Amino acid sequence: QVQLVESGGGVVQPGGSLRLSCAASGFTFTSYGMHWVRQVPGKGLEWVAFIRYDGSNRYYADSVKGRFTILRDNSKNTVHLQMNSLRAEDTAVYYCVKDVDFWSGLGNWGQGTLVIVSS
Amino acid sequence: QSALTQPASVSGSPGQSITISCTGTSSDVGAYNYVSWYQQHPGKAPKLMIYDVSNRPSGVSNRFSGSKSGNTASLTISGLQAEDEADYYCSSYTTSSTQVFGGGTQLTVL
């Protein structure tokens, strides 16, 4: 079965950097795009970024463009979210999500990793 | 990109049907048939319930159905059950090549 396991969350100071990772298994990783979605505890969902199956194209929400980078390593079945210039408003649970098909839907979700940006 | 508009809450009794609306614009919901719906129970990750407006993933009950008219999409849950009590989110692909979510709807089963 599909498994997505996020790691790398934690507490970081404003202006700092953090790299989230997501280890994928149970499906042909090289055939699917991957998303990151975040959720402030108690609030709604916010889409963050998407990378195509082969890494050829990446897409970002305006709120993170220029600060976050989504990457994938198809040899290791992993996807990463490099987060720079972090702000308090980036505090959230970050979910790694497998695409159903190009933009069709967000099919399988990891359990999430919490990022807290605070001094 | 503004969030899609959903009612904050809906409620229904067991066995009844309820519908949750999701209103966007011609740049998102109205532009493509890429509307999806998610169920989230407290403390859990969201779960995909509907994709491409009206398709159900394997394993999702056929009590859940989706539709779209113009800039508004809808999720209908028939034969309401206690386990359906959760938050529901709609989402759509946009003409800016991004994904946008609705603010979420809290479903209460009375």
B3 has a chain A CB within 8 A of its CB: yes
CA distance A90 to A118: 10
Q: Are strands B105-109 and B9-12 parallel, antiparallel or unpaired?
A: parallel
What pLDDT does residue A95 have? 98
Q: State how far residue A38 is from chain B, nearest Cα, in angstroms.
A: 11
Identity at A64, one-letter amino acid code? V
pLDDT tens digits, one per residue of A6-19: 999 999 999 999 99
List B91's β-bridge partners, or say none: B36, B101
Identity at B96, one-letter amino acid code? S
Mean local confidence (pLDDT), B55-80: 97
Confidence of residue B1 (pLDDT cuts 50, 70, 90): low
Task: Please give the sequence-ordered ranges of beta strands (E in DSSP) within B1-110, or none if there are none.
Answer: 9-12, 18-23, 35-40, 47-50, 64-69, 72-77, 86-93, 99-101, 105-109
Among candidate residues B45, B4, B37, the one with its CA nearest the CA of residue B19: B37
Q: Give the contacts of B44 (CB within 8 A, at least 6 positions apart).
A: none
* DSSP 3-state of B8: coil
Mean local confidence (pLDDT), B20-48: 97
Return mean pLDDT, chain B.
Answer: 97
Per-residue buried b or exposed e for A33-55, using 16+ beta carbons within 10 Å of the residue's own CB: bbbbbbbeeeeebbbbbbbebeb
A61 has a chain B CB within 8 A of its CB: yes
pLDDT tens digits, one per residue of A81-105: 999 999 999 999 999 999 998 888 9
What pLDDT does residue A102 have? 83
Provide, rounded to the nearest whole percent, the portion of chain A with pLDDT above 90: 96
Which of the two residues, B76 and A103, has the higher pLDDT score?
Answer: B76
Q: Which residue of B has its CA nearest to A94?
A: B45
Residues of chain A in contact with residue B98, where contact means CB-CB under 8 angstroms, are 47, 59-62
Question: Is residue B2 scored above 90 in pLDDT?
Answer: no
User: Taking the C-alpha atoms of B85, B89, B90 and B96 in order, what is their torsion angle to the nearest 10 degrees?
Assistant: -170
B85 has a chain A CB within 8 A of its CB: no
* DSSP 3-state of B84: helix
DSSP A18-59: EEEEEEEESS-GGG--EEEEEE-TTS-EEEEEEE-TTSS-EE
Confidence of residue B87 (pLDDT cuts 50, 70, 90): very high
Return mean pLDDT, chain A.
Answer: 97
List B73's β-bridge partners, or say none: B22, B68
Cβ–Cβ below 8 Å for B91 and A60: no
